[in-house]
Amino acid sequence: MKTAFLYSDRFASFEYGPTHPLKPFRLALTFELIKRYGLFSLPGSSLVEAEAAKEEELALFHDRAYLDLLKAANQGKMLPGGGRFGLGPGDNPVFKGVFEWSALVTGASLQAACLVDSGEAGTAFNIAGGLHHARASSASGFCYVNDPVVAIESLLQKGRRVAYVDIDAHHADGVQDAFYKTDRVLTISIHETGMALFPGTGFVQEMGEGKGEGYSVNIPLPPLSDDELFLFALRETVPGLIEEFRPDIVVSQLGVDSFVTDPLTHLNYTTNGFCEAVRIIKNMSPKWVALGGGGYDIANVARAWTLAWAIMNDIELPDMIPLDFLREYSQYGFRNDRLRDEEYKENGPGKDQMRADVEKTVRYVREKILPKVKKGG
């Protein structure tokens, strides 16, 4: 197979709570839109049933005591001491199936990594994955198990050299911290500045320690950054870093909480910038594991990840969303009948300063970090 799409109907059976911004149902909505476009019957592509990760696989990164607590909380009841592990009301609620959800998402990411590493697929996409904030012993930012880290650890065990590229609006702090002192993983995160958004990290000076110095790359963008600034920052840094590092496999997180209408962030991307970023990542990846990520306007999630899957399969989709889909799912915020957004450019009085800030960050990466990255092989 050329491409593999990891999915389970069980993804949408979990719920963080009625008022929580992360809605697992968005995954079912995405799956249904992709299906209505006929993208699961393409030659060379395969729909793969997601399987839960085993506990020993989760322990590739996570502490056993934390996993034990997460298992004990699976019935949806808060346990004494859970707060010390980041569990509780707010971002990381204890809900029924919390351990099963985490194991299933992570299992799909492990399957994607295995399919790509073995050569069974050149690209594998787990839209449920990309939960990049979780720490080894605690939940953080809606994330209980850090599936990107577990998947990357599985590849490191096989001797692979991995680059991780994250375009979510939030800094990939959990992934960065996991590999901050190694040169076997190059982590790159393009995100809204931590001065304005959770988790308050991801500044350009955070570049790794010891053997890992230069292998953590952060490209923070000012609030209101649009496609133009995002793509400038990406094009001027990421391909050069990947070329220098020469990974065996690229793992990417394709969060779409960076869009104009997302309720939790302050960036102004559209499907236009997002799709160009996906094409750039595709073209520079020798083998590619693609993961989902953030996205709290669920219509944006469905449209963007449908477009991403089409790009992975070299398909140009018609812009008109299938009418039967719109009739069935109109209540989920589809603002018009189009798959793609209109072009958006930030033209406020601060645009020149925003551009100057991004250019300064790009220079820092190119002059201070890129020379430290050494070729593999």
Active site residues: 133
Residue with tokens 């992975």: 312
Residue with tokens 């702090």: 173
As given in the structure block, the two tokens for residue 201 are 């990290």
The three-state (H, E, C) secondary structure of 191-208, written as one string? EECCCCCCCCCCCCCCCC
Query: Sign of the CA dihedral 331, 337, 338, 342?
Result: negative
Kindly give the pairing relationship between strand 123-126 and strand 3-7: parallel
Pick left, alpha or beta for residue 4 (phi over 0 → left; psi -120 to 50 → alpha; otherwise beta). beta
Please give the Cα distance from 177 to 61 (Å, whole number).
12
CA dihedral of 193, 171, 83, 18, whole degrees rounded to 10 = 90
Name the phi and psi angles at 363, rounded to 5: -60, -40
Residue 167 near residue 254 (C-beta atoms within 8 A): yes
Cα atoms in the Cβ-side hemisphere of radius 13 Å centred on 269: 31
350 three-state secondary structure:
coil
Q: Pick from 187, 172, 167: which is nearest to 132 by CA?
A: 172
Query: Sign of the CA dihedral 135, 136, 138, 144?
Result: positive
Type and span of the H or E element at 115: helix 98-118
Burial 328-343 (b: 16+ CB within 10 A, else e): ebeeeebeeeebbbee
| DSSP annotation string for 36-49 | HTTTTS-TTEEEEE
Please give the Cα distance from 276 to 354 (Å, whole number).
21
